[in-house]
């Protein structure tokens, strides 16, 4: 290999590695400048915590997103950001009427306390998270 070929191969390798780092950051929310805050929590008898969190982004002028997670502690804003960009979100919608309640350690109910959520405002809706069955009140099934 000539000196120019080695230089080109090294440059391509460095650029490829940089592209991988940026792509991983994008998919994990590292560049998400939204504000993340826990709005409500509900603790099960086995110390699991269901959280309703809010993501707001005043710079992008996008609507607020409210999402539900289950954890073993109340998440920090950084943990919320990371979880929001993962498969850990159980429910997400553009409405602030949400509340959560444990029926028992394996059954969580997510409710809209102010009427009914339009299906078009729902981004994520899961019926199960590990060994927890999720039920919904005043929330239609996502199409």
14 and 77 within one domain = no
Per the structure, how many domains does the chain have?
A: 2
Please state the pTM of the whole predicted model: 0.75
DSSP string of the chain, one letter each residue: --HHHHHHHHHHHHHHHHHHHHHHHHHTTTT---EEEEEEEEE-TTS-EEEEEEEEETTTTEEEEEEEEEESSPPPHHHHHHHHTTTT-SEEES-S-EEEEEEETTEEEEEESSS---GGGEEEE-SEETTEEEEEES-PPP-
20 and 39 within one domain = no
Question: Tens of pLDDT along 50-98?
Answer: 999 999 876 545 678 999 999 999 999 999 999 999 999 999 999 889 9
Average pLDDT, rounded, for the chain = 83
Domain extent for 52: 35-137
123 and 109 within one domain = yes
> Is residue 67 in a domain?
yes
> Is residue 143 in a domain?
no
116 and 104 within one domain = yes
26 and 90 within one domain = no
> Is residue 102 in a domain?
yes
């Amino acid at each position: 290999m000539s000196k120019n070929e080695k230089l080109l191969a090294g440059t391509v390798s460095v650029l490829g590695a940089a592209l991988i780092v940026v792509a991983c950051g994008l998919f994990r929310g590292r560049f998400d400048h939204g504000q993340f805050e826990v709005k409500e929590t509900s603790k099960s008898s086995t110390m699991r915590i269901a959280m309703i969190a809010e993501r707001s982004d005043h710079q992008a002028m996008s609507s607020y997103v409210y999402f539900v997670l289950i954890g073993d502690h109340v998440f920090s804003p950084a943990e919320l950001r990371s979880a929001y960009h993962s498969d850990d979100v159980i429910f997400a919608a553009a409405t602030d009427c949400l509340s959560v309640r444990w029926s028992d350690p394996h059954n969580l109910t997510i409710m809209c306390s102010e009427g009914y959520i339009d299906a078009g405002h729902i981004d994520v809706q899961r019926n199960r998270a590990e060994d927890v069955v999720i039920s919904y009140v005043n929330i239609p099934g996502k199409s």
